Amino acid sequence: MGRGNCHGQENWHGKFHGFGCRMTAGREAVITVLQGTKDHLSADEIFIKARRINPDVGLTTVYRTLERLSEMGEVHSLDSGDKRARFELANNEKGHHHHLVCTKCNRMIDYDDFIDDEVKLLQESEKKLSKKYDFTINSHLIQFYGICDNCK
Amino acid sequence: MGRGNCHGQENWHGKFHGFGCRMTAGREAVITVLQGTKDHLSADEIFIKARRINPDVGLTTVYRTLERLSEMGEVHSLDSGDKRARFELANNEKGHHHHLVCTKCNRMIDYDDFIDDEVKLLQESEKKLSKKYDFTINSHLIQFYGICDNCK
DNA sequence: CTCGGTGCAAAGAGTTTGCAATCCG
DNA sequence: CGGATTGCAAACTCTTTGCACCGAG
């Protein structure tokens, strides 16, 4: 009995409803795509894949869905260095992780080694910074930039 | 005009030369702007300010200069969440710092509190990650996302 | 039935590129 | 002098918007 399968645990219908939004076929397709990949897809790539699930989905809907999900904190938008945004589910089966970003080919590599220490330290910083700057922190990002093995 | 006197220490002429590039009036204006601000400026904002120093500078030159400087590792390009890139000198008088990014107004706040511990930890991660992923790390980024005091 | 959601086409905005003229070294 | 650099305008690409129709609840 695998855990974390989409339709079981994740009540997307309810999540959307909580934000005064409705669940639709287009949104479901986008979410299914995000759940089914371990890559960091662009809006366009999500669109292509979503269309294979539901040919009626339009690119506009993909953009609008991703924006909603970002506002809801369910999706993170990432900057890989090429000029288009890339997206990943905030709570995916990959678990919490950070990124290595190649400045040559813009590839993003996930890593979750050693991040326990990183996260622990960040939580302390978070607490202090929140207070000092009167800033409500919702999430964090750690990325290392350099040249990946392929590009050397 | 005394060229090359970009604040004594920094030998930009030499830096460019090391990359097979030349020092020009346009590039000097861009660098002077970057050195003279503590904000995270967009290409367009840099262009406006650079034009006040040298009215002959074009937006294209600003973009091309920023790209060269990025390649040279002298400038970092930042993603503030609005769709344009923002830039800061890699080695500026602000010293090493990280960012708080407001997801509502896209303001970026620098902080350098507590970062000694952060940097120390990152250097360890860096070493291990470099080896494990055969990835040459040149720089890192830490950002906290949330809501700033103005936006609450 | 009521709004929120959708697709399409067109607009918008930031960034890049082609090219002839210009400037650095 | 020779190749790097520049400004301008046009081209490009990603993203957003206006609008009439559709559909979830």
Nucleotides of D under 7 A from a protein CB: 4-9, 13-18, 23-25
Last residue of a domain, one of B92, B124, B142: B92
Report pLDDT for A31. Answer: 98
Provide the pLDDT for residue B28: 98
> Is B53 in the same domain as B65?
yes
Q: Is there a single domain that holds both residue B83 and residue B13?
A: yes
Closest partner CB to A114 (pick from B103, B125, B145)? B125
Give the Cβ contact number of residue B38 at 10 Å.
9
| Selection from A65, A64, A89, A68 nearest residue A9 by Cα | A89
**What is the per-residue pLDDT for B5?**
42
Measured CA distances, A134 to A91, A124, B100 (Å): 27, 15, 11
In the DSSP assignment, the letter for residue A151 is G
Same domain membership, residue B142 and residue B120 = yes
Note whether A57 and A124 are same-domain residues: no
Domain count along chain A: 2
The CATH number that applies at residue B58 is 1.10.10.10
Query: Is A76 found in the same domain as A39?
Result: yes
pLDDT of residue A2: 34
- Residue A83, pLDDT > 80, answer yes
> Hey, are the CB atoms on B125 and A140 less than 8 Å from each other?
no
Q: How high does pLDDT run on average in chain A?
A: 92
Pairing outcome for strands A85-89 and A41-42 = antiparallel
For residue A22, pLDDT over 50 is answered with yes
- DSSP assignments along B86-150, one per residue: EEEESS-TT-S-EEEEETTT--EEEE-TTHHHHHHHHHHHHHHHHHHHT-EEEEEEEEEEEE-GG
Strand partners, B81: none
The distance of Cα A101 from the centroid of its chain, to the nearest Å, equals 15
Please report, rounded to whole angstroms, the spatial distance between the CA atom of protein residue A21 and the C1' atom of nucleotide C3.
11
pLDDT digits (tens, 9 = 90+) for B31-68: 999 999 999 999 999 999 999 999 999 999 999 999 99
Assess whether B25 and B55 both reside in one domain: yes
- Whole-angstrom Cα distance, residue B39 to residue B36? 9
Q: Compute the half-sphere exposure of residue B89: CA atoms within 13 Å on the CB side of its CA.
A: 18
Query: Is 90 exceeded by the pLDDT of residue B93?
Result: no
> How many CB atoms lie under 10 A from the CB of residue B39?
11
Q: What are the pLDDT digits (tens) for A89-128?
A: 998 888 899 999 999 999 999 999 888 899 999 999 999 9
Between A104 and A5, whose confidence is greater? A104
Task: Quote the pTM value.
Answer: 0.91
All residues of chain A having their beta carbon less than 8 Å from the beta carbon of residue B118 are 121-122, 125
**Rounded (5°) CA angle B31-B21-B30:** 15
Say whether both B12 and B66 belong to one domain.
yes
Domain of residue B8: give its range: 1-92
Residue where the block lists tokens 């905030």: A90
pLDDT at A40: 97
Q: Is the pLDDT of residue B4 over 80?
A: no
Residue where one domain finishes, among candidates B92, B113, B135? B92
Tell whether A50 and A109 lie within a shared domain. no
Question: Does any CB of chain A come closer than 8 Å to the CB of residue B114?
Answer: yes
Are A11 and A83 in a shared domain?
Answer: yes
Which residues lie below 8 Å from residue A116, measured CB to CB, with a gap of 6+? none
* B61 lies in the same domain as B111: no
Residues A50 and A5 in one domain: yes
**Residue entry with tokens 């290392």:** A144
> How large is the average pLDDT for residues B124-152?
95
Per-residue pLDDT, averaged over B124-141, amounts to 96
- Residue range A48-72: mean pLDDT, rounded: 98
Bridging pattern class, strands A108-111 and A136-147: unpaired
To the nearest whole Å, the CA of A35 is away from the closest chain B CA by: 23
User: Domain ends where: A41, A58, A92?
Assistant: A92
> In terms of C-beta density within 10 A (0-12 exposed, 13-18 middle, 19 or more buried), how is residue B83 classed?
exposed
Sheet containing A108-111, strands listed edge to edge, beginning at the edge strand earlier in sequence: A108-111, A98-102, A136-147, B136-147, B98-102, B108-111
